[in-house]
Amino acid sequence: MNSFADVPAMIAACGASSGKVYLVGAGPGDPELLTLRAARLLAQAQAVVYDNLVGPEVLALIHPAAQRIYVGKERSRHTMAQEDINALLVRLAGEGLSVVRLKGGDPFIFGRGGEELQVLAAHGVPFEVVPGITAACGAASYAGIPLTHRDYAQSCLFVTGHLKEGGGEMDWAALARPHQTLAIYMGLSMLPSICVRLVESGLSPCMPAAAIEQGTLPGQRVIAATLSTLAAEVAAAGLRSPCLTVVGEVVRLRDQLAWFDAPAMQPRESNLAFTTGA
Amino acid sequence: MNSFADVPAMIAACGASSGKVYLVGAGPGDPELLTLRAARLLAQAQAVVYDNLVGPEVLALIHPAAQRIYVGKERSRHTMAQEDINALLVRLAGEGLSVVRLKGGDPFIFGRGGEELQVLAAHGVPFEVVPGITAACGAASYAGIPLTHRDYAQSCLFVTGHLKEGGGEMDWAALARPHQTLAIYMGLSMLPSICVRLVESGLSPCMPAAAIEQGTLPGQRVIAATLSTLAAEVAAAGLRSPCLTVVGEVVRLRDQLAWFDAPAMQPRESNLAFTTGA
């Protein structure tokens, strides 16, 4: 961990007497999708505590004199335990610092932001929340897939694909509804079983479904297929986590509405037949 | 409608030969929650077509020389029919203009953005999508209500409260699930019947629920209650549409995590008893 030798000087320089933590969403990847507030706070914060879903273009907006503290968080190998992150935030704020806690996407959508704030509140640390574009909204927008549409989906359900984490099986009956779009976060390793269970739970095997890798970034790749073919398509294309998976009739609209990623990554019927049949 | 007499001069000045439409989310209200990309596009666009969920602070970012075209959209009294909005966008782009189509929140979450893009695509008009912070994420963040939390909600369902619009009854069985947060858009006029139906469909009458008026704006007001008391509380407080309603155990966290709105608007047990019992 960093030393804090320069903290008193920074406090004196800024005239800060009591610290504060800003829980900030970094958005889905494209740094242009940061909010104005997030960009301003990154330029002003004395310390930024961030994890691995935040890309280098966003980190470039941090003030050069600020402490940058990486606290990791890959699945099943947290670089820093959640309890240690909580303690770190309390300590930094207690030292009088203006601290940005930076999380990918939106901190209140599968970000454990609420848990960190509960610890801050218990310690009397002042805080604010700056929402970010959540991964589903970012990736779907750049993939040309409206999450709702009057003709196809009157609701959208955001879920995580971590079947075993957070306690309990997924609520398949809730997931397999008509006229609803499913946005599944981080579901790539579970993708084959999720697709099978959705069909077993009542969705058509022909239901359109897409996986989006590196959504909103220049390397974005989108595989649009169906529940029966998506897992094989994704494996054939070599997509890697984290991915955002979208299930629902709205995925069809990508044929008309794709605007961001290269045409080569827009599968057509012929491509689908080719890669699936191999 | 505005005249377009100055269009040829603007095209010449910008050297533009073919127009383009940027479908841009204006976010939930606070102009600081605009994305960097949205702010840049507003400062550069030659025409901005916006509706009534976009506030004056956001409109202030539009370039003074740009055409501003208000196309309204209040419930049941659309200032301009959707077909006319579609035609307007096609016409402006056909005149070579750089056009921002500005919508409150995120254009792909209950914004009919997909429908407008389908028309543009059919006419060969180039477009891009700039996602925005959707109202649920903005309002919940500023109300201190995490939409997901490992202990309380592993998923979040976004729905509209317009029972009769868009065809079909709401899917009550999908709405009344445990361990799920419901975010209901624009549901104030339907709030009493929605609360009743959710209880009839299996949710506890004691399930925490909150209504948020003017989320993220200085006038934000939050009423946190339960499914059995929310409608009366909201009526007593005189909340007005548009509101965002959140239903789920996560609403309890507001007691610890509220940070934005005035303490007077944070109902405590005693307040609840007083206003409900009247």
Query: Which residue carries 């002003």 as its tokens?
Result: A44
The pLDDT of residue A84: 92
pLDDT in tens, B213-265: 999 999 999 999 999 999 999 999 999 988 999 999 999 999 999 999 755 44
The answer to whether residue A153 sits within a structural domain is yes
Model pLDDT, residue A111: 84
Q: Does position B77 have pLDDT exceeding 90, yes or no?
A: no
The domain boundary, picked from B99, B133, B167, lies at: B133
Whether residue B275 is contained in a domain is answered as no
List C-alpha distances in Å: B100 to A86, A227, B34, B68, B129: 42, 35, 14, 10, 10
Flag whether residue B42 sits within 8 Å of chain A, measured between CB atoms. no
Percent of chain B with pLDDT over 90: 72
Q: How far is residue B192's CA from residue A75's CA, in Å, rounded to a whole number?
A: 42
**A264 in a structural domain:** no
Q: Measure the CA–CA gap between A145 and A215, rounded to whole angstroms.
A: 12
- Whether A271 maps to a domain, the answer reads no
- One domain, residues B196 and B107: no
Let me know whether B85 and B176 are in one domain: no
CB contact under 8 A, A256 and B117: yes
In whole angstroms, how far apart are CA A267 and each of A220, A272, B230?
Answer: 14, 6, 48
Spans of chain A below 70 pLDDT: 1-17, 73-79, 161-168, 187, 262-278
SS (H, E, C) chain A: CCCCCCHHHHHHHHCCCCCEEEEEECECCCHHHCEHHHHHHHHHCCEEEECCCCCHHHHCCCCCCCEEEECCCECCECCCCHHHHHHHHHHHHHCCCEEEEEECECCCCCCCHHHHHHHHHHCCCCEEEECCCCHHHHHHHHHCCCCCECCCECEEEEEECCCCCCCCCCCHHHHCCCCEEEEEECCCCCHHHHHHHHHHCCCCCCCEEEEEECCCCCCCEEEEEECCCHHHHHHHHCCCCCEEEEECHHHHHHHHHCCCCCHHHCCCHHHHHHHHHC
Average pLDDT over residues B56-84: 84
pLDDT of the residue at B18: 80
Give the distance from residue A185's alpha carbon to the nearest chain B alpha carbon, in angstroms: 10
Boundary residue ending a domain (B100, B133, B166): B133
Same structural domain for residues B119 and B228?
Answer: no
Contact A254, A222 (CB under 8 A): yes
Q: How many domains does chain B have?
A: 2
Residue B72 forms part of a structural domain:
yes
Domain boundary residue, one of B81, B116, B133: B133
pTM strictly above 0.90: no
* A148 contact residues in B (CB cutoff 8 A): 108-111, 114, 158
How sure is the predictor about B73, in pLDDT bands with cuts at 50, 70 and 90?
low
Mean pLDDT confidence for B26-43: 97
Chain A contact for B79 (CB, 8 A cutoff)? no
In this model, does residue B90 exceed pLDDT 90? yes
Give the pLDDT confidence score for residue B188 in this predicted structure. Answer: 82
> What DSSP element (H or E) covers B233?
helix B230-237
A259 CB neighbours in chain B (<8 A) are 126-129
Q: DSSP letter string over B82-132?
A: HHHHHHHHHHHHHTT-EEEEEESB-TTSSS-HHHHHHHHHHTT--EEEE--
pLDDT of residue A13: 45
Rounded to 5 degrees, φ, ψ at B223 are -115, 115
Asked if A22 has any chain B CB less than 8 Å from its own CB, the reply is no
CB pairs under 8 A between A and B: 208
Interchain pair B109, A156: CB under 8 A:
yes
- pLDDT class of B52 with cuts at 50, 70, 90: confident
Q: Which amino acid is at B222?
A: V
- Looking at the structure, do residues A151 and A180 belong to the same domain, yes or no? yes
Same domain, B147 and B58: no
Distance from CA of B26 to the nearest CA of A (A): 11
At B182, is the secondary structure helix, strand, or coil?
A: strand
Give the model's pLDDT for residue B168. Answer: 59
d(CA A49, CA A40): 16
Kind plus residue range of the DSSP H or E element containing B183: strand B180-185
Query: Does A273 map to a domain?
Result: no
Q: Are residues A97 and A122 in the same domain?
A: yes
Residues B115 and B225 placed together within one structural domain of the fold: no
Neighbours of B201 (CB within 10 A): 15
Query: Do A129 and A29 reside in the same domain of the chain?
Result: yes
B129-140 pLDDT tens trace: 999 999 999 999
Q: For testing the chain B interface, which of A21, A22, A33, A116 should be mutated: the one with the most B CBs within 10 Å?
A: A33
Give residue B25's pLDDT band: very low, low, confident or very high (50, 70, 90): very high
In terms of Cβ atoms closer than 10 Å to its own Cβ (0-12, 13-18, 19+), residue B17 is: exposed
Portion 174-213 of A in contact with B at CB < 8 A: 174, 177-180
Interchain CB distance below 8 Å, B131 and A35? no
Residue A70: which CATH number?
3.40.1010.10
Cross-chain residue pair A137–B114, CB shorter than 8 Å: no
Helices (H) and strands (E) in chain B, counts: 11, 10
Strand partners, B86: none
Question: Are the beta carbons of B115 and B30 closer than 8 angstroms?
Answer: no
Confidence of residue B56 (pLDDT cuts 50, 70, 90): very high
Is B51 an active-site residue?
A: yes
Length of chain B: 278
pLDDT at A17: 54
Window A:43-62, CB contacts with B under 8 Å: none
Instruction: Report whether pLDDT(B86) > 60.
Output: yes
Give contacts of A202 with chain B, Cβ < 8 Å.
Answer: none
Rounded to 10 deg, the angle between the B230-237 and B191-200 helix axes is 170
Partner-chain contact A259 B150, CB within 8 Å: no
Among A121, A146, A260, select the one facing B113 at the smallest CB separation: A146
Domain that holds residue A118: 4-133
Residue B162 lies in a domain: yes
The pair of three-digit structure tokens given for residue B38, joined into one six-digit string: 């949205």
B203 and B236 within one domain: yes
Residue B13 sits in the same domain as residue B29: yes
Is there a domain that residue B166 lies in? yes
Tell me which of A181-185, B93-97, B159-163 is least confident.
Answer: B159-163
CATH value at residue A249 = 3.30.950.10
Q: Are B160 and A154 inside 8 Å of each other by CB?
A: yes
Q: Quick one: pLDDT at residue A3?
A: 44
Q: Is B151 a catalytic residue?
A: no
Q: Judge whether B54 and B70 are in contact, CB under 8 Å.
A: no
Tell whether A248 lies on the interface with B, counting CB pairs under 8 A: no
- B117 to A257: CB separation less than 8 angstroms, yes or no: yes
Pair B120, B197 in one domain: no
| Same domain as B124, residue B143 | no
Give yes or no for B120 touching A (CB within 8 A).
no
Q: What is the pLDDT of residue A80?
A: 81
Please tell me the predicted confidence (pLDDT) of residue B79: 67
Cα separation, B77 vs B56, in Å, equals 21
